[in-house]
Amino acid sequence: MSKVGFIGLGIMGAPMAGHLIDGGHELFVVQHRSAPPQDLLDKGAVVCASNREVAERADVIITMVPDTPQVEAVLFGSDGVAEGLSPAKTVVDMSSIAPIETKRIAARINDLRCSYLDAPVSGGEVGAKAASLTIMVGGPEAVFEQVRPLFELMGKNITLVGGNGDGQTCKVANQIIVALTIEAVGEALVFAAKAGADPARVRQALMGGFASSRILEVHGQRMIDRSFDPGFRIALHQKDLNLALQGARSIGVSLPNTATCQELFNACTAHGGDGWDHSAMVRALEVLADHEIGQPPAG
């Protein structure tokens, strides 16, 4: 049983923290503008007055916040985690943030004689609730092994990818592949539909071969069904592709199709779609082709 602090009790963080307290760990949370979720309080979560106090009372402090600036604010802001840390504690950032900034953040935490893991997740709200998240970890192996029992309460595919930053790099790689595969399926189905073929039968025919993927299976079906409630919102994927494109610029990598996918997401938001599921990227391709997949074949 560990003393675990959890900062960031949003759509993802709240169920993740719930699994930790269900697993028998002592949970420390913080009172922000809004109170912590009632079910966590009912289960005995201890409410602290600040992030600093969470770090003082817990041994492992997990952060799960929207982006790089929020992680920096939580850790290094006034009354922040860094002020409450004492040597041998561990900070685990499960947010999805910039890999390069992560290396700097890890170094600052290490300077306080504490350990740091970056451990972003994929699997979304469904995976957070079902404790089936994929967790991509960067950091020292010994620290990873210490924290692993906590990860196993929240996720299923848990991989130590490498040193600090490599977990975030892996998450960015994941989001590149997911966006570009959605776009690939979109191009293929829009082409097929406007050429007069039934996209549902095309999808079925392709499922057995080298074009098969989780994206063709799940997101391809969403495109055909016109089922664009999230799921994973376009606004969040835009944030992740921004991490990819800014990271690529800073390390000298060219990501031509990632750039195009970001622009297609931008086209979706121009049509009010920042809250659509990311599979709705196909709508931008449909606008370009003046043809919706769901329409009767033109041929």
Q: Could you say which residues in the range 117-176 bind a second copy, by CB under 8 A?
A: 122-123, 134, 136, 138, 156-157, 159-163, 165-166, 169-170, 172-174, 176
> Is residue 43 annotated as part of the catalytic site, yes or no?
no
DSSP 165: T
Candidate segments 44-52, 68-76, 142-150, 256-264, binder of a second copy by CB under 8 A: 256-264
Q: Which of 32, 104, 113, 214 binds a second copy (CB under 8 A)?
A: 214
Q: CB neighbours of 182 closer than 8 A, spacing ≥ 6? A: 215, 219, 261, 278, 279, 281, 282
User: Which tokens sit at 242?
Assistant: 């921004």
Taking the C-alpha atoms of residue 11 and residue 233, their distance in angstroms, rounded to an integer, is 13
- Looking at residue 128, its amino acid is A
CB of 61 to a second copy, least distance (A): 24
90 touches a second copy by CB under 8 A: no
27 near 46, Cβ under 8 Å? yes
231 touches a second copy by CB under 8 A: no
107 touches a second copy by CB under 8 A: no
* For a second copy, the closer CB: 61 or 137: 137
Q: Count other C-beta atoms under 10 Å from residue 102's C-beta.
A: 26
205 touches a second copy by CB under 8 A: yes
CB of 196 to a second copy, least distance (A): 7
Q: How many residues at the interface with a second copy, by CB under 8 A?
A: 79
279 touches a second copy by CB under 8 A: no
Q: Which of 100, 129, 152, 275 binds a second copy (CB under 8 A)?
A: 100
Closest by Cα among 10, 57, 3 to 27: 3
Q: Count other C-beta atoms under 10 Å from residue 270's C-beta.
A: 11
* For a second copy, the closer CB: 114 or 121: 121
CB of 245 to a second copy, least distance (A): 10
CB of 29 to a second copy, least distance (A): 28
Taking the C-alpha atoms of residue 8 and residue 131, their distance in angstroms, rounded to an integer, is 17
**Residue 285 burial (10 A CB sphere; 0-12, 13-18, 19+):** buried
Active site residues: 171
